[in-house]
Amino acid sequence: MEASAKRWLSLYPKEIAPVNEYEDRPLFDYLREAAARFPTKIAIHFLGKELTFSKLYDDTLRLADQLQKLGLKKGDRAAIMLPNSPQSVIGYFAVLMTGGVVVQTNPLYTEHELHHQLKDSGAKMIICLDALYPRVKKAGLNTDLETIIVTGVQDYLPFPKNVLYPIASKTKLPKKRDIRNEKNVYLLTDLIQNGSKAFKPATINAREDLALLQYTGGTTGVAKGVMLTHRNLSANTKQSCMWMYRQKYGEEVVLGVLPFFHVYGMTIVMNLAIMYAAKMVILPRFHVEEVLKTIEKQRPTLFPGAPTMYIALINHPNISQYDLSSIETCISGSAPLPVEVQQTFERLTGGKLVEGYGLSESSPVTHCNLIWGERVSGSIGIPYPDTDCKIVSETGEECPVNEVGELVVRGPQVMKGYWNRPEETEKVLKDGWLYTGDMAYMDEKGYFYIVDRKKDVIIASGYNIYPREVEEVLYEHPDVQEAAVIGVPDDYRGETVKAFIVPKQGRVLDEKALDAHCRKMLAPYKVPKSYEFRSELPKSAIGKVLKRVLIAEEDKKRQTS
């Protein structure tokens, strides 16, 4: 792509180089470097518990040693099903040190969803939360899963929280003695204690060797494993560091409330904090009051988040009572950022909040508004360094300025392809270009704007929800004849799920029955928030349900209400 066609390059400040070299280093080498340079510096703060970089690195080496002794080899897949915690960081880098491939798994997944991911990835090992152990054990049946490693939030809590947590927990947790007696089931704390910090990490070809299978879906509704290499992830992390050029190595404090099992939180929080040698302040969940207290006490300088987080914070009735002045930089992703939210948050904190864009297939960030420069409301910004972008028509020709077409991108952060799905890979990767499935346009300056999604993906609170997956669960209900699922606007979540149902003749259905059915098969955020019962659904001449008609009807309702 000719430099003259990259209109956005003229917008780059002098601090951001448009062309850069990216080191072919394994991701875990950045942890080694941080531990070597700042052994006594705090790497992780977790609900009062702190780990230095030296301790974090040693625990990771010890766990990697034990994972290898349990049979994890280079190229083997190992799932991690944990909330944000020191264990999620240690487990992630320990798997990578063995040469293994991490399979990030949402702790909210049902047995049905987890089984698919384990089966498809061929994961032979999983590190999970103690409360999830019964679900994992059942989901692992008839898969390649051989080893289960269990840990609890209390394992990395300070005294007396570590003693009180199991008592306060609403979930009945498995007893340690029972777990130790089960075949091929181990406690993570035991493994770390017995491991050797003399472990020698595997030799990695950063350009070719996979670091991650990040599961995502699409119009088919079947979750696919995005193959991301060490270089894909380290390059995108490096690009993000370049974008935040005022941040200082070894001096930043990053608030980690975005889930690490989501590629956005993994790159912009966890990997970036390790590459920056920053203190990572980890929270296992987003709770408004807890986040406000943590910001005031721990003084984070960097707070990556999603619009729903910033909306919840600025609408908290007591926000003015908290000192949020430490925040300098916030990148918002996963959903559009309303301009009034951006302006209010910046006024309350004194920091900068900008909108970015990305997808799992690109590690994930490809675009972002300038943090210290011109920003355009409604725009996803301009491409990251070394990222080529263009808008193409259905015939594959590049569209002129301000004309809508499909956004395609190319850069060092773009995936190798989909795991064991060459046909799906060929549909989206063409001559090095990733076809995003998002309809967009570029203006005269080089700013990009997303106008619609080619896919029917619903994005609620930053989570991707694939309509067909929800529809298939609805179809399993014996009284459902037809089902169609769409996303409808929601003031808080951005979008939420609505289902249109045609009951079988003579059957009576209600929302309560369908809600109970869906909750058995779907994570809570995927469960429809409303249902509409109809005698028929709008269809084309060939019998295809016309979701655009349903969407138009919903739009009309909102306009007249």
Confidence check: pLDDT of 537 > 80:
yes
Helix (H) / strand (E) containing 36: helix 28-37
Per-residue pLDDT, averaged over 305-333, amounts to 93
Please state at what angle helix 307-314 crosses helix 288-298, rounded to 10 degrees. 90
Distance (Å, rounded) from C-alpha 359 to C-alpha 366? 8
Stretch (H or E) spanning 495: strand 494-503
Q: Is the peptide bond before 364 cis (omega within 30 degrees of 0)?
A: yes
Q: How confident is the model at residue 168 (pLDDT cuts 50, 70, 90)?
A: low
- For the chain, domains (ranges, CATH) are 1-24+251-455 (3.40.50.12780), 25-204 (3.40.50.980), 464-560 (3.30.300.30)
Q: Is the pLDDT of residue 309 over 50?
A: yes
Q: Which residues contact 51 (CB under 8 A, 6 or more apart)?
A: 42, 43, 44, 59, 86, 156
Residue spans of alpha helices (H) in 261-357: 263-265, 272-276, 288-298, 307-314, 339-349
Strand partners, 453: 438
Pairing mode, strands 405-410 and 433-442: antiparallel
pLDDT tens-digit series, residues 249-303: 999 999 999 999 999 999 999 999 999 999 999 999 999 999 999 999 999 999 9
Looking at residue 540, its pLDDT comes to 58
Quick: pLDDT tens for 91-113.
Answer: 999 999 999 999 999 998 999 99
Residue 539 above 90 pLDDT? no
The pair of structure tokens assigned to 105 is 């798994």
**Confidence label for 542 from pLDDT (cuts 50, 70 and 90):** very low
Q: Say what the pLDDT of residue 218 is.
A: 41
Q: 143, 105 in Cβ contact below 8 A?
A: no
Q: What is the largest CA-CA distance in the chain?
A: 72
Taking residues 42-57, report their average pLDDT: 97
Q: What is the mean pLDDT of residues 420-426?
A: 96
Count of other CB atoms within 10 angstroms of residue 285: 11
Question: What span, in angstroms and rounded, lies between the C-alpha atoms of 284 and 144?
Answer: 29
pLDDT given at position 559:
86
The rounded distance, in Å, linking the Cα atoms of 73 and 359 is 29
* Sequence-separated (6 or more) residues with CB below 8 Å from residue 204: 26, 99, 230
Phi, psi of 97 (to 5 degrees): -65, -30
Q: How far is Cα 339 from Cα 362, in angstroms, rounded to an integer?
A: 26
Rg of the chain over all Cα atoms, to the nearest angstrom: 23
Tell me if 352 sits within 8 A of 336, measured CB to CB: no
The pLDDT value given to residue 3: 56
* pLDDT of 454: 66
Give the burial class of 501: count Cβ atoms within 10 A of its Cβ; 0-12 exposed, 13-18 middle, 19 or more buried. Answer: buried
DSSP lists the bridge partners of residue 50 as 45
pLDDT of residue 450: 87
Q: What pLDDT score does 170 carry?
A: 67
- The pLDDT value recorded for residue 219 is 36
- Give the span between the Cα atoms of 55 and 243, in whole angstroms: 30
Percent of the chain with pLDDT over 70: 95
